[in-house]
């Protein structure tokens, strides 16, 4: 396409310089903080970080909530996406638009809405008491449940959109063919739909997992300091203790977790396909 | 010729900049009530001095971090912060001694505001008391220990240890338990025992108004500066007067070391401490006065930390105790409460 390499490089250069200067270099400087000591380089900061039981608890809580949100969004996402792709063209566009709509609203506004909905006098509690599922309002706010609900609502659209696009690329007669050949719905899902849509699941899963793990606003508002996650812990370390070393350690942990999640999801999808 | 023209343009530009710079005072303050501050304090001062006021906002810790980062080339001329952060700033050599002989209003200050840290580096401009805002139709609060009582279990929010209110509340809780040791070990352990009964450990008091409105909480310890939001609510909310007394804190003004606008900064400081401005800030329920000549109506006084007796009875934690114990408190807290 290009007449010579120089032309291609010249075109890429501005973007590369920009990304290098404002992203890569600052990230490298931040990450190096975690390894730098007065005497040279060391991984002591990482050993120190994981030796504190609070940090361990926060690490596992972050991992657990991100994994739960990803799994729940995959289950709900498949059902929703499957229903949407089977709608007539006009309806499909409208419903997809509705799925995308929350993404256009600020996460702060969306999360604040949950503060009202999940409150003691909120809609959820009023409904639970009205139908007799609970005698008195339940405390949802500032619990892991609230953070889970907030994160799920925040990132579910990303999973649905990824799965809609994957399902649309699937041959239309694959499911009817499997049904005709006697497969039940579970078999249709595990042996036909899942292998054929694995790319969408990997993309959606990575977006949801990474998003849930690195979200700050939702855990801060709905979890507060009682449900600390890595992001809120990082904020606390920097603003309260001026501790940039811990912040750097947490930043690297988050990056490694995001990449690992992507690799793991790819592996899982490929392994399923090989069967 | 062209070079000469450019050089003269640059010279004129730099002279203009220097002149403009001389008349510019940069202050760093808290972000709250800025509209009121603009009307009552900033605008009148700009008119009086014929200068330009550049206002940066943020919390006390952020301000301290910025001042440290810009130590060699200070941007801010005058900053306000908590008395303990002022001591931390002085220890880091970020502030200068205040020449109080240039402050006409200095003698009008309550004695404890004149030199809160005893180092001549800060002057108090407002106090606040810390007590408990509570729903009087649900509970009655007469002691700090009531915060952890069964009647409030699941309906109370406490400040996080990382906030300025956190240590004050723990200190009063310790006092109520008969242990006022500065290590705060006993009250932190007690809060740890009851942590499941606490709705949240808040980091911003502004969040509490909504929680109170939604009946999520019935009580929370707050600084008097946050009371305005509660007093306006359509709910029976009272300010507690616990038998152990009230705690509190003081906000102070400091002068940045190496600042080039020292005289202007001192003029501004004096203006802020004047009876007229302190009265207006009090009447607007913005800040409680540190100037003892300020007189306000009973209605206003009820919403402020006002009067010599009130000020004298506040159980303040000395700044050095606050700073020297901060890390140990955080560690204790994370161990007993944070998990």
Tell me, yes or no, if B210 comes closer than 8 A to chain A by beta carbon: yes
pLDDT, average across residues A119-136: 91
**To the nearest whole angstrom, how far is the Cα of A200 from the nearest Cα of chain B?**
37
Helix axes A123-130, A107-117, angle to 10 degrees: 30
In this complex, which of A57, A116, A142 lies closest to B200 when CB atoms are compared? A142
When pLDDT is cut at 50, 70 and 90, the band that residue A142 belongs to is very high
Contact call for A225 and B334, based on CB within 8 A: no
When pLDDT is cut at 50, 70 and 90, the band that residue A31 belongs to is confident
Q: Provide the greatest CA pair distance for chain A.
A: 75
Q: What is the mean pLDDT of chain A?
A: 90
pLDDT, average across residues B103-127: 95
Domains parsed from chain A with CATH numbers = 54-274 (1.10.3720.10)
pLDDT, average across residues A185-212: 92
When pLDDT is cut at 50, 70 and 90, the band that residue B339 belongs to is low
pLDDT, average across residues A195-213: 93
Tell me, yes or no, if A54 comes closer than 8 A to chain B by beta carbon: yes
User: What was the pLDDT predicted at A1?
Assistant: 58
Where are the extended beta strands (E) located within B138-274? 156-159, 198-202, 219-223, 237-239, 247-255
Half-sphere exposure of A213 (CA within 13 A, CB side): 26
Q: Between these two residues, A174 and B162, which has the higher pLDDT value?
A: A174
* Of the candidates B32, B96, B108, B75, the residue with the CA atom closest to the CA atom of residue B272: B108
Structure-token pair, residue A236 = 């606390």
Note the Cα A248 to chain centre separation in Å. 21
**To the nearest whole angstrom, how far is the Cα of B203 from the nearest Cα of chain A?**
8
Half-sphere exposure of B107 (CA within 13 A, CB side): 3
Residue B154 dihedral angles phi and psi, to the nearest 5°: 80, 5
Distance of CA A177 to CAs A27, A181, A183, A190, Å? 50, 6, 9, 15
> What is the three-class DSSP state of B252?
strand
Residues from chain B contacting residue A119 (CB–CB below 8 Å): 214-216
What is the distance between the alpha carbons of residues A172 and B63, in angstroms, rounded to a whole number? Answer: 61
When pLDDT is cut at 50, 70 and 90, the band that residue B9 belongs to is very low
User: What was the pLDDT predicted at A224?
Assistant: 86
User: What was the pLDDT predicted at B60?
Assistant: 78
**To the nearest whole angstrom, how far is the Cα of B16 from the nearest Cα of chain A?**
33
Domains parsed from chain B with CATH numbers = 2-127+250-312 (3.40.190.10), 128-248+318-336 (3.40.190.10)
pLDDT, average across residues A228-235: 90
B10 pLDDT exceeds 60?
no
**To the nearest whole angstrom, how far is the Cα of A198 from the nearest Cα of chain B?**
38
Which residue of A138, A225, A227, A242 to mutate against B (max B Cβ within 10 Å)? Answer: A225
Contact call for A52 and B65, based on CB within 8 A: no
Residues from chain B contacting residue A53 (CB–CB below 8 Å): 335, 339
Tell me, yes or no, if A242 comes closer than 8 A to chain B by beta carbon: yes
- Give pLDDT tens digits for A4-25: 888 889 999 999 999 999 999 9
The interface predicted TM-score (ipTM) is 0.73
């Amino acid at each position: 396409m290009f007449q010579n390499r120089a032309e291609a490089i010249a075109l890429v250069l501005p973007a590369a310089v920009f990304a290098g200067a404002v992203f890569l270099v600052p990230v490298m400087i931040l990450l190096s903080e975690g390894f730098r000591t007065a005497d040279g380089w060391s991984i002591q900061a990482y050993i120190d970080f994981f030796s504190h039981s609070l940090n361990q608890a926060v690490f596992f809580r972050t991992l657990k909530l991100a994994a739960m949100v990803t799994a729940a969004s995959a289950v709900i996402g498949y059902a929703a996406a499957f229903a949407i792709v089977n709608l007539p063209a006009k309806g499909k566009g409208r419903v997809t638009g509705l799925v995308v709509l929350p993404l256009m609203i600020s996460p702060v506004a969306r999360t604040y809405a949950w503060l009202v909905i999940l409150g003691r006098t909120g809609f959820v509690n009023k409904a639970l008491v009205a139908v007799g599922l609970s005698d008195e309002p339940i405390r949802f706010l500032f619990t892991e449940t609230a953070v889970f609900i907030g994160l799920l609502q925040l990132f579910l659209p990303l999973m649905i959109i990824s799965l809609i696009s994957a399902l649309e690329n699937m041959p239309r007669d694959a499911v009817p063919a499997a049904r005709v050949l006697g497969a039940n719905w579970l078999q249709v899902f595990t042996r036909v739909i899942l292998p054929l849509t694995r790319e969408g699941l990997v993309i959606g899963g990575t977006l949801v997992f990474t998003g849930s793990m690195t979200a700050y606003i939702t855990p801060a508002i709905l979890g507060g300091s009682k449900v600390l996650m890595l992001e809120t812990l990082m904020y606390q370390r920097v603003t309260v203790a001026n501790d940039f070393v811990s912040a750097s350690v947490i930043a690297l942990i988050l990056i490694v977790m995001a990449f690992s999640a992507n690799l793991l999801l790819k592996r899982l999808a490929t392994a399923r396909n090989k069967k | 010729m062209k070079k000469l023209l450019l050089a003269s343009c640059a010279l004129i530009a730099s002279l203009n900049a220097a002149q403009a710079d001389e008349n510019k005072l940069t202050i760093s303050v808290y972000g709250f009530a800025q509209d009121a501050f603009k009307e009552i304090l900033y605008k009148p001062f700009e008119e009086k001095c014929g200068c330009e006021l550049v206002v940066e906002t943020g919390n006390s810790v952020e301000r301290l971090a910025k001042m440290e980062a810009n130590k060699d080339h200070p941007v801010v001329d005058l900053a306000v912060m908590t008395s303990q952060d002022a001591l931390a700033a002085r220890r880091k050599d970020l502030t200068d001694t205040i020449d109080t002989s240039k402050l006409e209003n200095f003698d009008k200050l309550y004695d404890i505001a004149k030199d809160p840290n005893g180092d001549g580096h800060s002057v108090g401009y407002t106090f606040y008391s810390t007590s408990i805002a509570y729903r009087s139709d649900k509970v009655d609060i007469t002691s700090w220990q009531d915060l952890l009582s069964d009647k409030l279990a699941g309906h109370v929010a406490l400040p996080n240890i990382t906030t300025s209110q956190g240590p004050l509340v723990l200190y009063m809780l310790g006092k109520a338990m008969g242990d006022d040791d500065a290590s705060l070990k006993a009250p932190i352990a007690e809060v740890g025992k009851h942590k499941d009964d606490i709705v949240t450990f808040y980091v911003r008091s502004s969040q509490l108004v909504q929680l109170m409105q939604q009946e999520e909480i019935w009580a929370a310890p707050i600084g008097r500066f946050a009371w305005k939001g509660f007093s306006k609510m359509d709910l029976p909310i009272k300010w507690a007067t616990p038998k152990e007394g009230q705690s509190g804190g003081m906000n102070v003004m400091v002068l940045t070391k190496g600042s080039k606008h020292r005289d202007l900064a001192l003029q501004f400081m004096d203006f802020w401490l004047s009876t007229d401005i302190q009265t207006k800030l009090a009447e607007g329920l913005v800040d409680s006065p540190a100037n003892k000549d300020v007189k306000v109506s009973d209605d206003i006084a009820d919403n402020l930390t006002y009067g010599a007796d009130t000020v004298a009875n506040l159980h303040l934690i000395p700044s050095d105790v606050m700073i020297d114990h901060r890390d140990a408190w955080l560690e204790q807290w994370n161990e007993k409460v944070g998990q």
